[in-house]
Amino acid sequence: MNALQQEITQLIIDTLNLEDVTVEDIPPDQPLFGEGLGLDSVDALELALALQKRYDIRIASDSKDARQHFTTVASLAAFVQAQRDACAN
């Protein structure tokens, strides 16, 4: 798990107030929604809000991509990294 993935995992735990869950409990490849961590659409909104604020990025609505970015911690980290790189250029 790289630093950004770790940071995002912690953000998920803090934002959603997941009790008794540590960073180690959420492997980067574990699905966040459905059977995995069991998050739902409102959690996704809450999470998107927190991510957008923290990393100063913009997550487009209605795109299939946006939904794919939220699949796992790994995909979220990759997305945030890509957004940052795009901004840096």
Partner 1 sequence: MNEQVVQERHWSTHKERGSFFLMRLTAFGVRVFGRRLLAPLLYLIVLYFFASARGARRNIWQYQSYLADWSGRESLRPTFGSVFGQFIAFADNLLDRLDVWRGRLGFEQVQLVDPSGIRPRLLRSQQGGRGEILVVTHLGNPDVCRAMAELGEQVPLNVLVHNRHVAQFNRLLGEAGDRSMRLIQVTELDTAMMLDLSQRVERGEWLAIAGDRVPLHDGRRVAVNFLGHAAAFPQGPWLLAGLLRCPVNLLCCLKVDGRYRIHLDPFLDNAHWERGRRDDAIQNWAQRYADHLAQQCLMAPQQWFNFYAYWQSGKSEARDAN
Options 1-9, 29-37, 58-66, 75-83: segment touching partner 1 (CB under 8 A): 58-66
Alpha carbons 79 and 69: distance in angstroms, whole number: 6
Closest C-alpha among 59, 62, 64, 61 to residue 79: 59
Q: Is 58 in the site for partner 1 (CB under 8 A)?
A: yes
Q: Is 35 in the site for partner 1 (CB under 8 A)?
A: no
Q: Is 18 in the site for partner 1 (CB under 8 A)?
A: yes
Q: How many residues bind partner 1 (CB under 8 A)?
A: 18
Q: Is 3 in the site for partner 1 (CB under 8 A)?
A: no
Residue 52 C-beta: closest distance to partner 1, Å: 5
Site residues (vs partner 1, CB under 8 A)? 16-19, 42, 44-46, 48-49, 52-53, 58-62, 66
